[in-house]
Copies of this chain bind each other. A is one copy, B any other.
Amino acid sequence: MDTADDSSLGPLTEDVPSTGFLDDGKNTIGSQLASRLREAIISGELEAGSKINLDKARKTFNVSLSPLREGLARLISDGLVEFQDNRGYRVAPISLANLEEVTSLREELEVFALRESMRLGDVEWEGNIMRALHRLNRSERDAARPETLEQWEALHREFHLTLISGCGKPLLLHFCSLLLNLNDRYRRVFLIRTSGDRNVGQEHSEIAQGAVARDVDYACEKLRQHIHRTGTNLRNHLAAKGIA
């Protein structure tokens, strides 16, 4: 039980959006690998805690060691990969404790960032929220079609990041983005569909409405509850699968 089952990881063919020009920094093999691996980990394609064998990965992706290490190194910053000298890389493990920390820190940091955004955000920020909300609410999650799940996840992530994008604190945004990554991995791996007693769409709407209306206490409390509920929900799913 040492090596990840990477059977379904095809060779990398990054889907460049072909917006025409403007090199947005996904050019090197190392970068493409980082994206590919990030997706593989968050989606659960690479099992949490499993060792990443460099030689096998090299063959799987048809690359040399250098860009492979490069890509993996970046995922360390994301908290998705762990590393030890002379022992190589492994997919960051998951645990109840980790999930609870991620949830707790999201409540603390995302709410703080939302508060700051409401203090500092301008009209463009408001507009971005409404757009992100609309796109998210229009998106459908069909468990039968994985690509819709991926799409929803991307829009959901986008919504949460947009909410706090007005805070003017790059480091804080970075931390939140990181926590969101970790959180999304739990959802994608453990949550096929959201629990029945929630209307997640409405929760998002309430947060967004409160934010643009600058009702600080309301919006922050709604966001906190939203995060907390997701945490509780996920915790139950982890417990059901016997994960400590």
- A residues contacting B by CB (< 8 A) are 23, 25-28, 30-31, 66, 69-70, 73-74, 76-77, 79, 84-86, 98, 101-102, 104-105, 108-109, 112, 169-172, 175, 179
Contact = CB atoms under 8 A, between A and B. Distances in A.
Contact of A101 (B26, B28, B70, B169): B169
B84 A25 contact: yes
Contacts of A175: 175
A170 B86 contact: no
A101 B79 CA distance: 22
29 contacts: A23-B85, A25-B84, A25-B85, A26-B85, A27-B85, A27-B86, A28-B85, A30-B85, A31-B85, A66-B66, A66-B69, A69-B69, A69-B70, A70-B73, A73-B73, A76-B77, A77-B77, A79-B171, A98-B171, A101-B170, A101-B171, A101-B172, A105-B169, A105-B172, A108-B109, A108-B112, A109-B109, A171-B179, A175-B175
Which 6 residue pairs spanning A and B have beta carbons closest together?
A: A73-B73, A77-B77, A25-B85, A28-B85, A27-B85, A101-B169
Given A28-B86, A77-B76, A102 B66 contact: no
A103 to B, nearest CB: 11
A66 B66 CA distance: 7
